[in-house]
């Protein structure tokens, strides 16, 4: 029976048999028939997230490879007879179901990740796959994780500030948009907290924030995510997680993938902040991959290219010129030291690559000084060029005064009664130390920071005991908002403080300090 031409084919809804036949003929006519060649490799050895392959002489470095079971990896080492491939999913005993003898082919492409506004507010793995159970990721494009750093001619001066909300950093080691500032210290001294505080403080700014967790415990990552969700602006954040149980390949590509996601916004004239937690574990995963692929070990068993790996990553952080849109990418990499040894291999490398370092000291941390920033060894090589003028003027001699106090405090521990001038310096220094202490996840606005520094430098806090400085700081934001809202807004808007505004603010601060000191009459710091 010949079917009618207007009858619908149930297998192809909406298409008649004649239309289907025409489409099939068009496809056949457009098909390219003839012999074709393809390079087919074989898995020689596999284990611990690494596969050694043979039979792929034309494969390129970092090329994405596909195994017969659908798994993927990328070429990390090219030898004459073998290719060292890093698996991107290695949960089954470090093999991801890949077995010796399996076929493998090159894709001609590199590892790519989704980019775009669709990732904002999401928690993803280094390949851009969702980890938050909120459905698939819809990206604007797929971009390679390895991209060249902006050329010198495409960069601009770093002049715009990044307010972290942490007084000791914003007042003494100011950061700028496009800067790379290392956060370094021993284990569990508050490195992650500083990075998370910087992200939280961008809730009122225009910066897009990315937090990259590399080899961290699930509990640590969860605490960071909860803090950002509760106190920050999670709708403008991207969390990239490569936990400690992840494949070495995923941990290795995590920071590169995050920088690619951030560059999408930078290249469109926006501003991005990337906190990498941490590059010490990334270096360890790089060393693990290198040793498994039988590369020659160097100092501390790291391969010779570990410096280049981190340099090419961090060089992607930059402030672009107006001709390139004027966007910026700021990097806050974190590194861990062992017993405060800043001269170890990886910390030394990262210090030489970055534009400064915030050093956290274990001794200060255990003494209760949090954040435990060592002002003697910390530095920002951009510093005052990006600092708000009001804060720069108020903190003009703050670092010198604090350093002198620490030295005098050390000497007076040997005994003896210092003279009146030294006692006054010690009392002022104790209040500076109390001002620089700050509770966790409570970033300060720029007007609050200016007021605090102005108060301690002008002597307004001298009537208070160091313990009472916390009460002074806690009531300061409400005081400014209620009694000097216009002044606070001018500082936020212009970053400057006129002579009249300075006098008004000082009078307000002295009254506020007097109200706190009156119940504590007779208390001497």
* Token digits of residue 433: 């130390």
Q: Is 381 a catalytic residue?
A: yes
Q: Specify whether the CB–CB gap between 458 and 517 falls below 8 A.
A: no
- Nearest residue to 242 (alpha-carbon basis) of 268, 273, 276: 276
**Taking the CA of residue 298 as centre, how many other CA atoms within 13 Å lie in the half-sphere pointing to its CB?**
10
C-alpha Rg value of the chain to the nearest Å:
29
Question: Strand pairing partners for 175?
Answer: 162
3 state SS of 5: coil
H helices of 315-357, in order, are 345-353
Task: State in Å, rounded, how far the first CA of the chain is from the last one.
Answer: 105
H helices of 201-305, in order, are 218-231, 248-266, 279-292
Catalytic residue, candidates 381, 389, 423, 510: 381
Q: Specify whether the CB–CB gap between 275 and 198 falls below 8 A.
A: yes
Q: Specify whether the CB–CB gap between 172 and 359 falls below 8 A.
A: no
How far is 483 from 407, CA to CA, in rounded Å?
A: 39
Q: Omega of the bond prior to 94 within 30 degrees of 0, cis? A: no
The residue whose two tokens read 């074989």 is 42
How far is 485 from 471, CA to CA, in rounded Å?
A: 20
Q: Taking each helix axis as running N to C, give the angle between helix 306-314 and helix 279-292, from 0 to 180 degrees, rounded to the nearest 10.
A: 140
Backbone φ and ψ for 175, nearest 5 degrees, come out as: -110, 155
H helices of 354-498, in order, are 362-366, 389-394, 398-412, 420-436, 446-458, 469-483, 485-494
How far is 204 from 286, CA to CA, in rounded Å?
A: 37
Query: How far is residue 434 from each of residues 60, 211, 371, 467, measured CA to CA in Å?
Result: 57, 30, 11, 7
3 state SS of 136: coil
How far is 274 from 331, CA to CA, in rounded Å?
A: 5
3 state SS of 473: helix
* Sign of the dihedral through C-alpha 400, 403, 407, 408: positive
Catalytic residues: 381
């Amino acid at each position: 029976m010949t079917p009618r031409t207007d009858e619908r084919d149930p297998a192809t809804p909406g298409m008649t048999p004649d239309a289907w036949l025409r489409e099939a003929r068009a496809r056949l006519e457009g098909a390219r028939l003839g012999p074709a060649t393809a390079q087919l490799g074989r898995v020689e050895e596999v284990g611990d997230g690494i596969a050694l392959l043979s039979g792929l002489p034309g494969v390129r470095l970092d090329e994405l490879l596909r195994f017969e079971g659908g798994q993927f990896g990328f070429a990390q080492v090219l030898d004459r007879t073998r290719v060292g491939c890093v698996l991107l999913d290695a949960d089954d005993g470090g093999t991801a179901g890949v077995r010796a003898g399996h076929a493998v082919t090159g894709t001609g492409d590199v590892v790519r990740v989704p980019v775009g506004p669709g990732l904002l507010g999401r928690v993803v793995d280094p390949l851009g796959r969702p980890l938050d159970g909120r459905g698939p990721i819809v990206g604007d494009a797929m971009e390679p994780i390895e991209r060249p750093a902006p050329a010198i001619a495409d960069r601009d001066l770093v002049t715009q500030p990044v307010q972290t909300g942490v007084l000791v950093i914003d007042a003494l080691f100011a950061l700028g948009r496009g800067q790379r500032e290392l956060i370094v210290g021993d284990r569990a001294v508050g490195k992650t907290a500083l990075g998370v505080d910087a992200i939280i403080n961008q809730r009122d700014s225009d910066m897009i924030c990315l937090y990259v967790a590399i080899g961290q415990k699930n509990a640590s990552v969860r605490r960071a995510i909860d803090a950002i969700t509760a106190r920050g602006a999670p709708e403008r954040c991207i969390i990239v997680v490569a936990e400690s149980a992840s494949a070495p390949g995923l941990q290795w590509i995590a920071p590169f993938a995050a920088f690619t996601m951030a560059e999408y916004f930078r290249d469109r004239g926006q501003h991005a902040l990337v906190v990498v937690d941490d590059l010490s574990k990334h270096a360890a995963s790089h060393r693990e991959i290198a040793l498994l692929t039988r590369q020659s070990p160097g100092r501390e068993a790291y391969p010779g290219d570990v410096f280049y790996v981190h340099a090419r990553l961090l060089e992607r952080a930059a402030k672009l010129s107006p001709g390139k849109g004027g966007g910026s990418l700021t990097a806050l990499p974190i590194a861990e030291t062992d017993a405060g040894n800043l001269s170890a291999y990886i910390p030394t490398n990262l210090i030489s690559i970055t534009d400064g370092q915030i050093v956290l000291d274990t001794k200060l941390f255990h003494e209760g000084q949090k954040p435990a920033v060592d002002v003697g060894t910390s530095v920002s090589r951009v510093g005052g060029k990006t600092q708000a003028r009001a804060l720069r003027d108020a903190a003009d001699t703050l670092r010198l005064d604090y350093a002198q106090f620490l030295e005098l405090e050390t000497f007076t521990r040997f005994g003896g009664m210092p003279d009146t001038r030294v006692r006054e310096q010690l009392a002022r220094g104790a209040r500076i130390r109390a001002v620089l202490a700050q509770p966790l996840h409570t970033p300060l606005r720029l007007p609050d920071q200016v007021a605090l520094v102005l108060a301690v430098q002008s002597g307004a806090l001298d009537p208070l005991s160091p313990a009472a400085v916390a009460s002074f700081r806690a009531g300061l934001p409400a005081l400014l908002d209620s009694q000097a809202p216009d002044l606070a807004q001018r500082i936020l808007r212009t970053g400057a403080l006129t002579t009249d505004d300075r006098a008004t603010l000082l009078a307000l601060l002295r009254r506020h300090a007097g109200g706190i000191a009156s119940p504590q009459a007779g208390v001497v710091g």
